[in-house]
């Protein structure tokens, strides 16, 4: 499921991975999650997103935060998103 929801386009945010059809970078969404935002908070503040978009970002996004000594592994999912 993630590839159809995430796109990389040099014309959008200098080629950072974004949720398709938006200018919301996967990195930005992972930052919100790392700051403790819940799924409901993210969806309420960014109504163009879906739960599937958040799943794709957490499953397919880069490890976060970049260039840090954070011990989390790429592909780990700190956000509990119920399966649909």
**CATH code for position 39:** 1.10.10.10
Residue 17 lies in a domain: yes
- Could you tell me if residue 70 is inside a domain? no
Residue by residue, what is the 3-state secondary structure of 30-83? Answer: HHHHHCCCCHHHHHHHCCCCCHHHHHHHHHHCCCCCCCCCCCCCCCCCCCCCCC
Position 30 in a domain: yes
Whether the predicted model's global pTM rises above the 0.85 cut: no
Residue 8 covered by a domain: yes
Number of domains within the chain:
1
pLDDT tens for the chain, 84 residues: list them: 557 899 999 999 999 999 999 999 999 999 999 999 999 999 999 999 999 999 999 987 664 334 444 434 444 455 566 565
Q: Provide the residue range defining the domain that includes 25.
A: 2-60
């Amino acid at each position: 499921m993630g590839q159809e929801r995430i796109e990389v386009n040099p014309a959008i945010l200098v080629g950072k991975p974004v949720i398709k059809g938006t200018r919301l970078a996967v990195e930005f969404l992972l930052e919100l999650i790392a700051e403790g935002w819940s799924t409901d908070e993210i969806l309420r503040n960014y109504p163009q997103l879906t739960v599937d978009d958040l799943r794709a970002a957490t499953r397919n996004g880069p490890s976060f935060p970049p260039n840090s000594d954070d011990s989390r592994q790429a592909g780990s999912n700190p956000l509990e998103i119920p399966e649909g």
